[in-house]
Amino acid sequence: MPDNAPKKVSGHEDQTATILINLYDGTRELLPGETRVLLRIIDGEQRHVFTDTVKGPTIRVTVPCQDGMRDRYTVLAAADGYAQAGFHPVNVSPTIVRPVFLMLLPRKTRWDFSKSQWDVLRKTHPAFTKLMAHGANSEPQGQARYERVMEQRPAGIACLLNILTVIQDIDLPEGTPLDHMREIQWETVTQDRCFGWADRTLLDQVRVAASQGAFSQEPGPGLLHPGATSSYKQVQFGEANLQITFHEKDQSSGRPDWVKVELDIDYFNDAAAHTLLEVLPNAFGSTDPRRVYVLRWIAGRQANVPAFNPPYTIRPSDS
């Protein structure tokens, strides 16, 4: 194991802090211990205080601590065969060990849907299968529809599972967004969003949650979401927040108590507040559920909230 002491920064050696970096792969397990990782740590003034190739999956690094802007560090990790990942800001203190959790996806990946097969989901995520079966004449027909979409649009299923996992964990004044969902519009399930029908009470619940600071209302919702009447973005994290967009002018046949909703997960809050730096910049497309998977998982681990664990994983591709 190489010496992981920081490179000396002249005049700033009096006080130090410790960062504990933990590296995971797309299965949400720690990287193999023999993995060699190029680790870079940059302080708040963009000075490189540590650059070295180390062995993962857990690395302890001591850095200067000045009780100021320099203590807002950026941690970047890269390894052969993996896409780079990073996190900012890592706010350090001499009195605590600051953990950082990063996920490095293989550059060539495949979906592992073994945990999202219908019979498995019925046991582990019954609310998912109940919603996904709605609108079909029977549960077997709902299962067949789900399996057909999984075969034809696997990235769409990954996106849907990301969204369902997120909305089941968001607390509203009454229940969660998943509790208010009524039906999925399967033809709209793509790799970056889906539409569906929800009970109209969801709009009132999100408005109340926004007044309490859990969501922010997006101005001009129709500009990016044609036909939208209102849109609200979760503000819990710096990245991978849920956006719920309402299309109140669209009516469901025979269900005036339903409202059309558009669900997606944005990469970042805004262009100036990217909490993750240099993460998968060109490895994947601009609307890829793999990127959401990484961002949301890292954001949750850093915020110390319930883990983002959708019922699938991402593994290295054999090809």
Give the count of alpha carbons within 13 A of 262, CB side only. 23
Strands (E), 35-108: 36-42, 48-55, 58-64, 72-78, 85-91, 97-103
What structural domains does the chain harbor? 16-103 (2.60.40.1120), 109-316 (no CATH)
Q: What is the pLDDT of residues 108-135, one digit of tens each?
A: 999 999 999 999 999 999 999 999 999 9
270-297 per-residue burial string, b: 16 or more CB within 10 A, e: under 16: eeeeebbbebbeebbeebbbbbbbbbbb
Enter the pTM of the model. Answer: 0.89
Q: Residue 171 burial by CB count (10 A; 0-12/13-18/19+): exposed, middle or buried?
A: exposed
Helix, strand, or coil here: 264?
A: strand
Q: What is the pLDDT of residues 157-177, one digit of tens each?
A: 999 999 999 999 999 999 999
